[in-house]
Amino acid sequence: MASPPDTQDETFTDRQQAVLDAVLALMVEQGGELTMNAVARRASCSKESLYKWFGDREGLLTATVRWQASKVRTGNYDRTKLDALALRDSLIRFAANWLGVISSPTSIALNRFAIAQAGGGAPGGGLGAIMLANGRFAIGARLKPVLDAGRDAGLIAFDDTETAFRSFIGLVGRDVQIRLLLGDTLRLTPAEIEADAARATDQFLTLYGTANPVPGLPKTNA
Amino acid sequence: MASPPDTQDETFTDRQQAVLDAVLALMVEQGGELTMNAVARRASCSKESLYKWFGDREGLLTATVRWQASKVRTGNYDRTKLDALALRDSLIRFAANWLGVISSPTSIALNRFAIAQAGGGAPGGGLGAIMLANGRFAIGARLKPVLDAGRDAGLIAFDDTETAFRSFIGLVGRDVQIRLLLGDTLRLTPAEIEADAARATDQFLTLYGTANPVPGLPKTNA
DNA sequence: AAAGGTCCGTACCGTACGTTACGGTTCTCC
DNA sequence: GGAGAACCGTAACGTACGGTACGGACCTTT
């Protein structure tokens, strides 16, 4: 549980990466009906090669999740020196980036697969654990240094970084992810994402800021 | 989309209700592997009866979701007269009730099915839409009168009830639902649920309250 | 008590899909 | 240029499962 975010960078050949991209495309387009035949047809490869490279269907799905996770990984947001505006900017960029990821069709399709499979037999080694490690826990590990730096700079105050972090992503994500996963036709334009990120960040700073963290920005009761 | 929360109370016979409860039990226990044979065995009925009563597998799943939704529906929380303490109490009870629902094994299993099926062919008539109507949108319809009453009483202030509601459930739920759906071993004891409900409510009142809404309760930076 | 209906248990059918096997083609290396 | 490997396309196999059919038991009605 809560294993390190999959540091074993499994390297795939270009051909294999193309196959995995085909799997992702199929997941996005066709949804839950993903057969080995369809993958082989889409990727123009033989089923024999699929089984040779990935073992079985489970291995193919696992490799796909890891492959996508390796593509999503972005730079860290921590910086050594922070003032109120820089902290706010870091949080907003973080929130906007995360909202963009969780509302992307690829992320939705992948989470659907992981969730569908999380109910089944293997509770530990399933796709759900990989998604958690590379999604929820990975972004926590990336954001917490920012929060701690903000606290060290006296800009925000909290006892438990984890609790503060969870409040932040609650304010940012709200019900977006579950609605999208359930098929709600919710469109998030880049402008809406930016606005939501700013609103959530200001709400977070209202809750956890030590003083008027953002002068000129009154309480956002929008 | 956003259809009314399924007012057509489909009535099932006792035998059929027992079958649907068996389906729920199987969903919770076995997870994603739900076959008609398993249902017939578990419910001690013939497959012929299953198809006679529910049409096909899809109909059985749909009936199960509706049946569970009809069991979860609870009383409304609105009241005509509100002071600050009564509003806070209503919100806390609401939050605690909702947290208890979304963290229950039945809700998790059902959401897994609906999400897995939401990726497939039928985007509108699937289980996801039913879950949304009876889950997310139903609780919104039940809580919004409380929020509006609080605003009318001058206790809280916001422009859009929907936005305020979404901030509230974001603070309450945070990442609980997605983590549980992905198989995270997250245990919410009743005490934790109550504490989370109170924390989220006080944070919400800090954000949207017009004045010191809860005297004696400082900003909860826990 | 006979008739009809409902339902259980089981067997059966057709299909879909995961997995394996095989022939033919292309590429690499010596 | 020839040997071998890697790989593509397709066919074949076994199983699982959704859906249907049938015989027998129980219960109700007249």
Residue A216: is its pLDDT beyond 90?
Answer: no
Quick one: fold of B14-71? Arc Repressor Mutant, subunit A (1.10.10)
Q: Quick one: tokens of B37? A: 């044979």
Query: In Å, how far is A210's CA from the nearest CA of chain B?
Result: 10
**B176-205, pLDDT tens digit by residue?**
999 999 999 999 999 999 999 999 999 999
Give the count of alpha carbons within 13 A of A148, CB side only: 11
Residue range B86-99: mean pLDDT, rounded? 95
Q: How far apart are CA A192 and CA B212, in angstroms?
A: 31
Number of C-beta neighbours around residue A58 at 10 A: 14
Contact A174 B184 (CB under 8 A): no
Q: Establish if A216 touches chain B: CB-CB under 8 angstroms.
A: no
DSSP β-bridge partners for residue B156: B209
**B132-153, pLDDT tens digit by residue?**
999 999 999 999 999 999 999 9
Q: Quick one: tokens of B93? A: 């009870």
Contact B129 A170 (CB under 8 A): no
pLDDT at site B212? 53
Sequence-separated (6 or more) residues with CB below 8 Å from residue A71: none
**A56-101, pLDDT tens digit by residue?**
999 999 999 999 988 887 767 656 678 899 999 999 999 999 999 9
Task: State chain A's maximal CA–CA distance in angstroms.
Answer: 63
Q: Establish if A206 touches chain B: CB-CB under 8 angstroms.
A: yes
Quick one: fold of A77-208? Tetracycline Repressor; domain 2 (1.10.357)
Torsion angles phi and psi, residue A16, rounded to 5: -65, -40
Angle, helices A105-118 vs A14-30, to 10°: value is 80
Q: Quick one: tokens of B133? A: 């109507």
DSSP β-bridge partners for residue B209: B156
Q: Which residues of A touch B222 (CB under 8 A)?
A: 158-160, 163
Please give the full DSSP string across A146-195, using - where no structure is assigned. HHHHHHHTTSB--S-HHHHHHHHHHHHHTTHHHHHHTT------HHHHHH
Q: How far apart are CA B77 and CA B75, in angstroms?
A: 7
Query: In Å, how far is A175's CA from the nearest CA of chain B?
Result: 6
3-state SS assignment for residue B2: coil
Q: Establish if A106 touches chain B: CB-CB under 8 angstroms.
A: no
Looking at domain B75-208, its CATH architecture is Orthogonal Bundle (1.10)
* CA distance to A12, A199, B19, B91, per residue, from B39 (Å): 42, 47, 8, 39
What is the spatial distance, in angstroms and rounded to an integer, between the CA atom of B64 and the C1' atom of C7?
A: 21
Contact A163 B222 (CB under 8 A): yes
Nearest CB neighbour to B167, from listed A119, A166, A203 = A203
Domain boundaries, chain B: 14-71, 75-208
Residue B126: is its pLDDT beyond 90?
Answer: no
Q: Which residues of A touch B183 (CB under 8 A)?
A: 118-119, 123, 126, 128-129, 132
pLDDT at site B6? 39
B47 touches strand D (CB under 7 A): yes
What is the spatial distance, in angstroms and rounded to an integer, between the CA atom of A131 and the C1' atom of D12?
A: 37
**A119-162, pLDDT tens digit by residue?**
765 555 689 999 999 999 999 999 999 999 999 999 999 999 99
User: Which of A48-52, B3-7, B210-214 has the least mean pLDDT?
Assistant: B3-7
Question: Do the first three CATH levels of B14-71 and B75-208 match, i.e. the same topology?
Answer: no
Angle, helices B127-134 vs B57-72, to 10°: value is 10
Closest C-alpha among A134, A149, A2 to residue A87: A149
